[in-house]
Structure 1
Amino acid sequence: MEEGKETKGKLTTEPKIQRTSEEERDRLSELPDFVLLHIMNFIDTKDALRTCILSKRWKDLWKHLTTLSFYQSSSLFNERVVNFNKFVSQVLSCRDGSISLINVRLVIYESIGSQLLNRIMKYAVLHNVQQLTMYIPFYYGKISTYLDPIIFSCQSLTYLSLHNLSSRPPLELPKSLQLPALKSLCLINVLFTATDNVCAEPFTTCNLLNTLVLKYCFLHNDAKILFISNSNLSSLKLMDLKIRDTFQHKVVLSTPNLSSLTVCFFEASSFTIQPLSSTCNLSCLEEGTINIATDISHPVLLGWLQVFTNVKILTLSYGTLKLILKDLSNLATMGSQPPCFVRLESLKVVTNQFRVISDEEVNKAVEYLLQNSPLIRVLLSKKLYRGCLLKYLGKCFYILFNFISFSVSLSS
């Protein structure tokens, strides 16, 4: 009788596979501590802490983590929020305090007490954190009422990404960021205040700052100019700044070593961007991008283009191209001359796959834009945006499904 076969109403089981001693070895636990910790630093801290039940070897290993990653999922149950807060407190209390932190990540969708948040910030600063990422709904406008500004004077911080998830008034930052080691900064939905005059100059003291991203940022009522002044800055992205639409309010650059500049505006609002200017000629500018999906005045657009006069590679979006064509159709603006792009080597025009624009229209806009510039290479690129791409793929799958169904019906 063969095992595992049913005979005379009886079912026999397959024999257990005998594992060799080589197969039973715990290869993961044989790895050195520093390798295991390196792996654990890539996962959520809650999952890393769960490894303590594996064996005595793993019991205290998590306490040596150099990355703390706290993720609080969106939930309507207050009990889960309380449990999350208790868990964070326990981690900070039990972790080996003699070890410096490299990275702290906070993703919080529910309310978190200011006391716990400030404890995290102080713990990070005292343990020489280098990288800090925060996705937090700050429900109060002034930072002093919610977050201890100690993090904005951290001497060890090299990377800071602050995303204010609240739809209420933006988070008001300190007038000046005292971050001497900071190299990369991303700020979303925050508010800048003026110093001694009408200018907001938050980045002047960040001497090592190389990369700056600003999105949904506001100016306080006492400020009329956002002055981005930094001699070391190399890459700058300005996205949907919410500054009053008046020529009294503007953005001024003082970034002589800037090599990459991106200006994007997608939302129509009474706070849409206004004049952008520079105190220097941006002679180091290699790449520039203008991406517009809302109406702005022609003088403002010409002012933006003036900032890009020394760029080598310029990319214009479909919306920007349509805006230029719209201005050209108005006889009152036909006399306005675009600047001379003295170093331009390549102009890339990105169009939307699902928004048709004729070659004649493209040529008309390009000819106007380059009428004062040397002959260069012009590239036309068609881009599938994410939302359009899904619709496009959906149509492809629909056609493919119908084709398969039709083929099956023929074969049957």
Structure 2
Amino acid sequence: MNDMVDRISRLPDDVLNHILSSLTTKEVVQTCILSKRWRNNWAFVPVLNFQLDDFDNDCDRLGRFVDGVFQNRGQSCLGEVIYRGRFEDSSHGPSMEWLDRAALLMPRTIWVCIANAFNGVDAPLIIPDSVFSCKSLEHLVLLIQSVPVVTIIRPKSIALPSLQTLELDCLILDDDFAQKLLLGCPFLKSLRVEYCDLFISDISSNVLKKLIVHSCYQYQHMRICCPSLISLSIWSDENSTRIISLKKLTSLVNAQISLNGNDEEMDVNDLPDAQLFSGLSNATSLEFYLGDPDLKEYWKKDITKCRTFKNLKSLEIKAWDMINNFDLIACFLEHSPLLQKLTLKCLSKKENMMIHAEQDVSFLVEHLETVDIHYPKDGMLPIKLMSMLDRRVKTFRNINISSVSS
């Protein structure tokens, strides 16, 4: 064993530090007892990885350890900071003042995950402003999991000239934050927001290439205007949908859209006109989940403005009632001259055999290379849907019908 330690000790510093970067910081610090060669080496490892599990879930011990590391580490630059902790009781949240010291060491990545252990926690998490002015920062991830009081982020300013990716969970985000973010991050390529409360009316960026908005509660109509956007994913939970308009998505290739949920107190007739379907006209691949029947009439208004999907080659639609959403399917087929693959995923085990006149639309598609129809295992074969497609698609090169597990 001593011979093995000696062999490792003879490695160049950069190689040794690279190996140690795969360990948690507690494990790295413990190597100082191996020999004189190792005594201070931990202070130059470019990754700090603080894990609450290393301290038997004792938040106070983790906090003291983090403070000790920064007091003794010196000023060598950081590559990455990882922190996984939690709110420990109902009186206060974890101290994040150490992030001030971390930001001074010019890290490229900051990854913070905070969970809560007790439902009584009512203290918000405070993220120091220095995090939002770290000139070296390329990747920032803030995950605030299962905290009853959602944290508001309101930095005085945002100046992150190197930031490329940003992920935010369980936060309150407003227009002031969005405007500062998009102006202060000139090279931001990827933005993901999940389980956030959004008081945002506009996301406009000339550089953003990937945008994910998942399981967020929208409080107002939101416009997305991103000419360089390549990938878009919007997934709404029940009772969280507000209308989203898409503008100038001229570079869009892939899009995933879920139209699921509607505030029970919201009258769809009072909603502003949206431009969702027409805003997706440049995409090559589209996936849609049509979940809320209350929004069906509303989305019809948008369909009438639908332009040709001139690049669309792959279309996937998931719905509980595929028959009564057939007019939406028809809209895509009518306006997609290059469509090669159509995938229909029926979620209900029973097919609605009733069809209203307005759903029995008249159109004809010359050919589709592949049509895949999925229906639930132990569910009914979607005979009516197959018949409706057969009457309107002139040629099927391949048609696949299969039952799948829910």
Q: TM-score, normalised by structure 1?
A: 0.69
> 1:307, CA displacement in angstroms?
2.1
Q: 2:241–2:259: 8 Å Cα contact kept in structure 1?
A: no
> 1:50, CA displacement in angstroms?
1.6
The separation in 2 between residues aligned to 1:337 and 1:283, in whole angstroms, is 20
Q: CA RMSD in A?
A: 3.9
Q: Note the alpha carbon deviations across 1:151-191, whole angstroms, 9 max, x for none.
A: 11222211101111243232111265322221111111111
Alignment correspondent of 1:400: none
Alignment correspondent of 2:242: 274
Alignment correspondent of 1:206: 185
SS at match of 1:174: coil
Alignment correspondent of 1:193: 174
**How has the CA–CA distance of structure 1 residues 350 and 370 changed in structure 2, closer, same or farther, with 3 Å as cutoff?**
closer
Q: Does 1:226 align with 2:198?
A: no
Which residue, 152, 161, 183 being the options, matches 1:180? Answer: 161
The equivalences for 1:20-35 within 5 A come to 26-35=6-15
Q: Does 1:156 align with 2:136?
A: yes
SS at match of 1:121: helix
Q: Does 1:372 align with 2:335?
A: yes
Instruction: Show structure 1 runs of 5+ residues with no match.
Output: 1-18, 384-391, 393-412
The separation in 1 between residues aligned to 2:306 and 2:278, in whole angstroms, is 6
Alignment correspondent of 1:263: 234
> 1:227, CA displacement in angstroms?
1.6
Alignment correspondent of 2:103: 125
**How has the CA–CA distance of structure 1 residues 260 and 300 changed in structure 2, closer, same or farther, with 3 Å as cutoff?**
farther
Alignment correspondent of 1:135: 113
Amino acid in the other structure paired with 1:212: L
Alignment correspondent of 2:286: 314
The equivalences for 1:386-405 within 5 A come to none
Q: How many residues align?
A: 336
**How has the CA–CA distance of structure 1 residues 86 and 371 changed in structure 2, closer, same or farther, with 3 Å as cutoff?**
same
Q: Note the alpha carbon deviations across 1:65-105, whole angstroms, 9 max, x for none.
A: 1110101139997xx222222211111112132x1011001
Q: 1:287–1:314: 8 Å Cα contact kept in structure 2?
A: yes
Q: 2:241–2:260: 8 Å Cα contact kept in structure 1?
A: no
> 1:304, CA displacement in angstroms?
2.4
The separation in 1 between residues aligned to 2:161 and 2:124, in whole angstroms, is 23
Q: Note the alpha carbon deviations across 1:230-251, whole angstroms, 9 max, x for none.
A: 211111111122122xxxx211
SS at match of 2:113: strand
Q: TM-score, normalised by structure 2?
A: 0.70
The equivalences for 1:46-57 within 5 A come to 46-57=26-37
The separation in 1 between residues aligned to 2:299 and 2:25, in whole angstroms, is 61
SS at match of 1:35: helix
The equivalences for 1:275-290 within 5 A come to 275-278=243-246, 280-290=247-257
The separation in 2 between residues aligned to 1:149 and 1:96, in whole angstroms, is 22
Which residue, 211, 214, 236 being the options, matches 2:211? Answer: 236
Alignment correspondent of 2:276: 304
The structure with more strand, counted as a fraction of residues: 2
Instruction: Show structure 2 runs of 5+ residues with no match.
Output: 347-376, 378-406
**How has the CA–CA distance of structure 1 residues 75 and 27 changed in structure 2, closer, same or farther, with 3 Å as cutoff?**
closer
The separation in 2 between residues aligned to 1:332 and 1:211, in whole angstroms, is 28
SS at match of 2:110: strand
Amino acid in the other structure paired with 1:371: E
Q: 1:141–1:172: 8 Å Cα contact kept in structure 2?
A: no
The separation in 2 between residues aligned to 1:301 and 1:213, in whole angstroms, is 26
Q: Does 1:95 align with 2:73?
A: yes
Q: 2:188–2:208: 8 Å Cα contact kept in structure 1?
A: yes
> 1:229, CA displacement in angstroms?
2.0
The separation in 1 between residues aligned to 2:224 and 2:298, in whole angstroms, is 32
The separation in 2 between residues aligned to 1:101 and 1:335, in whole angstroms, is 49
**How has the CA–CA distance of structure 1 residues 202 and 141 changed in structure 2, closer, same or farther, with 3 Å as cutoff?**
farther
Q: 1:327–1:334: 8 Å Cα contact kept in structure 2?
A: no
Q: 2:139–2:165: 8 Å Cα contact kept in structure 1?
A: yes
**How has the CA–CA distance of structure 1 residues 262 and 43 changed in structure 2, closer, same or farther, with 3 Å as cutoff?**
same
The separation in 2 between residues aligned to 1:361 and 1:38, in whole angstroms, is 58
The separation in 2 between residues aligned to 1:75 and 1:268, in whole angstroms, is 38
Q: 2:86–2:94: 8 Å Cα contact kept in structure 1?
A: no
> 1:123, CA displacement in angstroms?
1.1
Amino acid in the other structure paired with 2:335: N
Alignment correspondent of 1:4: none
SS at match of 1:212: strand
**How has the CA–CA distance of structure 1 residues 339 and 75 changed in structure 2, closer, same or farther, with 3 Å as cutoff?**
farther
The separation in 1 between residues aligned to 2:11 and 2:343, in whole angstroms, is 52
Over the matched positions of the two proteins, sequence identity in percent amounts to 22
Q: 2:171–2:196: 8 Å Cα contact kept in structure 1?
A: yes
Please tell me whether Structure 1 or Structure 2 has the larger radius of gyration of its CA atoms. Answer: 1
Q: 1:229–1:254: 8 Å Cα contact kept in structure 2?
A: yes
